[in-house]
Amino acid sequence: MAIAADRGAWGSRVGFILAAAGSAVGLGNIWGFPTQVGQGGGAAFVVVYLACISLICGPILIAELAIGRRSQRSPVAAFRVIRPGTPWWLAGALGVLAGVGILSFYSVIAGWTIGYIWFTVTGAVDGDPGAFFADFVSNAPLTVGLTALVMLITAGVILGGVRSGIERFTTTLMPLLIGLLLLLAIRSLTLPGASEGLAYYLRPDFSRMADLGVFNSALGQAFFSLSLGMGTMITYGSYLSRRTAIAGSALWVIALDTSIAFLAGLIIFPTGFSIPDFDPSTSGPGLIFTVLPRLFASMPGGALFGVAFFLLLSVAALTSAVSLLEVPVAHLIDVHGWPRTRAVIVVTAGTMLLAVPSALAGGAVDAFTRLPLLGTDFLTLMVTVWNNVALPLGGLLIALFVAYAWRVEEAVRELQVEGAWLPYPGLWGFLIRYVAPVGILVIIVVTIRALLG
């Protein structure tokens, strides 16, 4: 499902939707979303998140796909083909950097996930999952080793052309993942304390929005979850055939991605609130790893569900990691003419180097666990820089590019090619011209003002 070096095309509309969903569905949904909801104070965050998805990110997803299909190029080249001789290609360059930046922390969390397959098999997490997690993430050789393992598998997939294998993974394993999540949600909703968790998750307490940081983290999370703002979807769109209706496919991807994130919340919060003294706002990146083992422990044959869960999540994370690595690699090949192998080796090594401080930020090295001046850990800093700043900025540039450089009329023509379905073209034009850019700008301003206090 990643990208063929020769300019291939998706076999069918369903194939494309599954490939794009394979990139979108990953740690962002199951690890990122509940973590951000917890830090953002619950249901109020969920409301802002859904608004960001429908008003800002949905229109931008359609825009990225349209740019990709029109230009038939990876991001930097795509901007150059549509508007040669202008600095718009810098938006693509930002995406190339973001690919490396995001993958650097993504591989760390994916490494934790792989570790938890084993810890569930051996029963190591049984007992006190919180204490176990703290121990685990402060173990430097283990966390760095697992991160390296993720990077090697990801690089291997991109080099080895086992893409058809991955595509098969997505088609069979994604339904399995959804089925398992449904099952786990049912179990978590029947735990004692579930109603308290459900209220926290779904009954908005709008006074929480007084913390204006919520808007920025919801926006960043929405971009991250949909693989938007850095050109991944431009690249995917470049493999679309002219017979595939972009808008309809985009709606499917959004529906799949958002329902999987929503389900993850339905699992984490009811389970979390069944634990005495649970406080989602202080759990940080370890939230799902400390909460889920309790859920599995409450189920007959729980270890089996646990192993299946972490296995499926690892696969989902790997398919997303592949799509992240592909952007900088494709760039070096397309624009700088590097051989594929060299591009993969160099980008993988660079990303791994940047990943080390994140892997050591869970207690292994004090300076990375509590950064001087900032007070947060290095991994959280990476999430903030790339998800909350770089992706919305990339999204803003993409919206402005379509609206004012490429022009909405041209983009709409691309979207409606061969009579493709595009409900209310005027609505999409309005969202991409005004609502998305203004929404992102307002959130940037609000965030800066909140930071200045």
Specify the long-range contacts of residues 153-157, CB closer than 8 Å, at least 24 apart. 153/318, 154/103, 154/107, 154/318, 154/321, 154/322, 154/325, 154/348, 155/325, 155/344, 155/345, 155/348, 157/2, 157/318, 157/322
| CA angle centred on 184, ends 182 and 189, rounded to 5° | 95
Number of residues that bind ligand TRP (CB under 6 A): 15
Count of residues making up the chain: 453
Q: Does 227 bind ligand TRP (CB under 6 A)?
A: yes
Q: Is residue 224 close enough to count as binding ligand TRP by CB under 6 A? A: yes
Which residue number has the CB closest to ligand TRP?
Answer: 28
Per DSSP, the three-state class of 210 is helix
Q: Say whether residue 220 binds ligand TRP (CB under 6 A).
A: no
Scan residues 67-106 and list those touching ligand TRP (CB under 6 A). Answer: 102
- Nearest CA among 390, 330, 323 for reference residue 97: 390
Taking CB under 6 A as the rule, does residue 27 contact ligand TRP?
A: yes
Q: How far is the CB of 94 from ligand TRP (least distance, A)?
A: 12
Segment near ligand TRP (CB under 6 A); pick from 141-149, 224-232, 266-274, 440-448: 224-232
In angstroms, what is the minimal distance from the CB of 199 to ligand TRP?
A: 26
Per CB under 6 A, the segment of 18-26, 167-175, 355-363, 401-409 that binds ligand TRP is 18-26
Binding of ligand TRP by 29 (CB under 6 A) = yes
CA distances in angstroms from 85 to 77, 90, 151, 257, 325, listed in the order given:
11, 12, 36, 36, 27
List 230, 247, 256, 415, residue binding ligand TRP (CB under 6 A): 230
Task: Using CB under 6 A, pick the residue from 39, 147, 225, 314 that binds ligand TRP.
Answer: 225
**323 near ligand TRP (CB under 6 A):** yes
Residues 423-444 as b/e (b if ≥16 CB within 10 A, e otherwise) read: eebeebbebbbebbbebbeebb
By CB under 6 A, is residue 249 in contact with ligand TRP? no
- Assigned token pair, 426: 């005027």
**Window contacting ligand TRP (CB under 6 A); options: 58-66, 284-292, 320-328, 343-351:** 320-328
Instruction: With both helix axes pointing from N to C terminus, report the angle between 246-273 and 58-71 in degrees, rounded to the nearest 10.
Output: 140
Q: In angstroms, give the least distance from the CB of 309 to ligand TRP.
A: 16
List for the chain the helix, strand, coil content (%; round to 5): 80, 0, 20
Residue span binding ligand TRP (CB under 6 A) among the ranges 8-16, 83-91, 108-116, 318-326? 318-326
Please report, in angstroms and rounded to a whole number, the separation of the first and last CA atoms in the chain: 45
Residues 348-367 within binding reach of ligand TRP (CB under 6 A)? none
Query: Residue 26 or residue 92: which is nearer to ligand TRP going by CB?
Result: 26
- For residue 264, the Cα-to-chain-centroid distance in whole angstroms is 14
Binding site for ligand TRP (CB under 6 A): 23-24, 26-29, 102, 224-225, 227, 230, 232, 320, 323-324
